[in-house]
Amino acid sequence: MTKERTPHSILTTEQCDRFGAFWKSIWEAPAEHNPDHPALEEWRKAVREQSKASPDDTPVEWDEAGGRAMAKMAGWEAPGPDGIEAYWWKSLKGPSRG
């Protein structure tokens, strides 16, 4: 005798409402940030150091394999080790990207 399977992705109206209310409480909550937080200052310093090493006008060049890999990346997935979402990498202009 086999058990009847039910899809886990089917939600009731009540569950959908609770789900929406949960995320709405997060999205609509006013954000309070401390722009002078020490961790932000460390980040700013690291960015300044990196930008000295590679000025903004340095063209970004993708080889063919890099271009294919970039095309397969979803825009808003979790960032890689560099901390940058693929959306921003895809927005860079280079020889083959306009």
Percent helix, percent strand, percent coil in the chain, to nearest 5: 45, 0, 55
Handedness of CA 79, 66, 49, 58 (dihedral sign): negative
How confident is the model over 18-49, as pLDDT tens digits?
Answer: 989 998 988 888 878 888 888 888 988 888 88
Residue spans of the domains in the chain: they are 60-98
Question: CA torsion angle for 29, 30, 34, 40 (degrees, to 10)?
Answer: 60
How confident is the model over 4-16, as pLDDT tens digits?
Answer: 555 566 778 888 8
Handedness of CA 86, 91, 92, 96 (dihedral sign): positive
